[in-house]
Amino acid sequence: MRSLSIFGATGSVGESAFDLLTRAGGPDAYRTVALTGGRNVARLAEMTRALQAEVAVIADETLLDDLRSALAGTSTRAAAGEAAIDEAARMPSDWSLSAIVGTAGLMPGLRVVERGGTLALANKESLVAAGPMLMGRARASGATILPVDSEHSAIFQCLEDGKLDHVEMVTLTASGGAFRDWPVERLVHATVAEASSHPNWSMGQRITIDSASMFNKALEVIEAHEFFALPNDRIRVLVHPESIVHAMVTYADGATLAHMGPPDMRHAIGHALHWPGRARLPIAALDLAALGSLTFRAPDEERWPALRLAREVVDQGGAAGAVLNAAKEQALDDFMAGRIRFTDMAAAVEHALDIGAGRPHFGDSPNTLDAVLDWDRAARRDAADWAARNRR
Ligand code: NAD
Ligand code: MG
């Protein structure tokens, strides 16, 4: 029986994975080693009982007693805190899903890669903040990293034998998020509630707001650069409001292969779960006749300055990805808390990148978790300083 672990089980991606696993037979089909959650003890305990996980970890240490009570009568070991997540990620399992949101997702994914495991990677922040380190350690240990971000999974599926031979260009599509049709002048007034509703995808709140600002696509450009080792000019972004084509791969012979499907993360998760094979998944069939037409347009950089920042980060390399990632998280916190406006997020990130570029060793890719976290803390401070000086 295959064994697996899920880091961030209680989130949007984690719930989709749980849905697939329970439909497939749960504990009769898979041996679950570890499940982790942030703060939602009740849901983590339900999932743990359903999958009969060996270990359940809640990130918030103050909730350990609650988790223990919720798991009373089971043979699951309850644990809490970052060290327990670290330990869980070191436990052998055939397949591990990295679905914690933010920089916090880097450590468990790194541990899986270091032990040569198979990492299904939803946490794009890992590749943005520490792509060279993560990919390098995977090469050294023989680990397999499978993309779970829908666009990157789509590209991966359009490659012949997983190779980039003869590939000229990859295209990531973007729905355009909540504000794609707003007049640009109105964006300055966008509220958190308005930014938190996605036209097509149902996702966690943070990534939904990142879709409205295009920081999500900015992260994905960097993610594609790190994962597929492609330069800026071979990664294109196209706004595609219907979210049916997830990505395209253009070959030197003029063929462009497009990956299509309904916007349902269970496809990308299920693909990584069953790779290198395929399995029947509970995904609605595409009805192109009902859709009638698919539309595409070039992204507007005035509306979405995050895309320009991503391009600069890819060109800069070194610690720029770690800085953009952390500054973006801080700017998002500041926007969500009402301290800065929607349109200020890009300015705060750009400020942190400018300050970061002046710090020693900015040109070197951080090669240890501590080095990434040092850049992360500094960039958060720089973005927070900008927010404090430009408070609305
Ligand atoms: P989410 O907010 O719904 O869930 C995040 C999970 O991480 C939860 O289990 C939460 O409890 C846990 N968590 C949060 N902070 C933590 C911390 N400090 N320590 C430990 N655990 C913590 O997020 P999501 O939308 O499921 O996204 C998860 C990851 O997948 C993100 O990196 C996101 O960019 C990526 N992703 C998501 C989607 C999507 O459709 N939701 C698509 C592509 C990629
Ligand atoms: Mg995506």
pLDDT tens, position by position, 303-339:
999 999 999 999 999 999 999 999 999 999 999 999 9
Residues 180 and 95 in one domain: no
Task: Please indicate, yes or no, if residue 268 is contained in any of the structural domains.
Answer: no
Centre of ligand 2 from the C-alpha of residue 78, in Å: 32
Residues 25 and 97 in one domain: yes
Residue 161: is its pLDDT beyond 90? no
Looking at the CA of residue 38, tell me the nearest atom of ligand 1.
11
Task: Please indicate, yes or no, if residue 236 is contained in any of the structural domains.
Answer: yes
Centre of ligand 1 from the C-alpha of residue 8, in Å: 6
Centre of ligand 2 from the C-alpha of residue 274, in Å: 20
Smallest CA separation from ligand 1 atom 18, residue: 104
The CA angle 13-380-312, to the nearest 5 degrees, is: 80
- Of all ligands present, the nearest one to the C-alpha of 265 is 1
Residues 140 and 69 in one domain: yes
Centre of ligand 1 from the C-alpha of residue 199, in Å: 19
Residues 38 and 129 in one domain: yes
Residue owning tokens 């401070």: 381
Residue 64: is its pLDDT beyond 90? yes
Q: Which residue among 147, 176, 195 closes a domain? A: 147
Centre of ligand 1 from the C-alpha of residue 91, in Å: 21
Residue 198: is its pLDDT beyond 90? no
Position 201 scores a pLDDT of 85
Other C-beta atoms closer than 10 Å to the C-beta of 24 total: 17
Query: Residue range 58-80: average pLDDT?
Result: 98
Q: Which residues surround ligand 2, an ion (CB under 5 A)?
A: 149-151
- Of all ligands present, the nearest one to the C-alpha of 148 is 1
Query: Residue range 337-346: average pLDDT?
Result: 98
Say which CATH number the domain at 108 has: 3.40.50.720
Position 392 scores a pLDDT of 83
Residue 387: is its pLDDT beyond 90? yes
Smallest CA separation from ligand 1 atom 41, residue: 203
Q: Which residues line ligand 1 (CB under 6 A)?
A: 8-14, 37-38, 59, 99-101, 104-105, 122-125, 149-150, 201, 203-204, 206-207, 265
Smallest CA separation from ligand 1 atom 16, residue: 38
Task: Please indicate, yes or no, if residue 270 is contained in any of the structural domains.
Answer: no
In terms of residue numbers, what domain contains 301? Answer: 154-263+285-389
Mean pLDDT of the chain: 97
Pocket of ligand 1, candidates 6, 10, 13, 269: which has the most ligand atoms within 8 Å of its Cβ, to mutate?
13
Residues 34 and 123 in one domain: yes
Q: Which residue among 127, 147, 167 closes a domain? A: 147
Centre of ligand 1 from the C-alpha of residue 209, in Å: 13
Residues 8 and 108 in one domain: yes
Residues 293 and 326 in one domain: yes
- Of all ligands present, the nearest one to the C-alpha of 218 is 2
pTM above 0.95, yes or no: yes
Q: Which residue among 147, 167, 200 closes a domain? A: 147
Centre of ligand 2 from the C-alpha of residue 71, in Å: 34
Position 274 scores a pLDDT of 98
166 half-sphere exposure, CB direction, 13 A CA radius: 12
Q: Dump pLDDT digits (tens) for 85-139.
A: 999 999 999 999 999 999 999 999 999 999 999 999 999 999 999 999 999 999 9
Under the banding of pLDDT at 50, 70 and 90, the label for residue 296 is: very high
Residues 129 and 194 in one domain: no
Residue 162: is its pLDDT beyond 90? no
Query: Residue range 7-15: average pLDDT?
Result: 98
Residues 124 and 179 in one domain: no
Task: Please indicate, yes or no, if residue 272 is contained in any of the structural domains.
Answer: no
Other C-beta atoms closer than 10 Å to the C-beta of 92 total: 12
Query: Residue range 364-380: average pLDDT?
Result: 98
Task: Please indicate, yes or no, if residue 229 is contained in any of the structural domains.
Answer: yes
CA distance 307 to 299: 9
Say which CATH number the domain at 331 has: 1.10.1740.10
Residue 159: is its pLDDT beyond 90? yes
Smallest CA separation from ligand 1 atom 36, residue: 122
Number of domains in the chain: 2
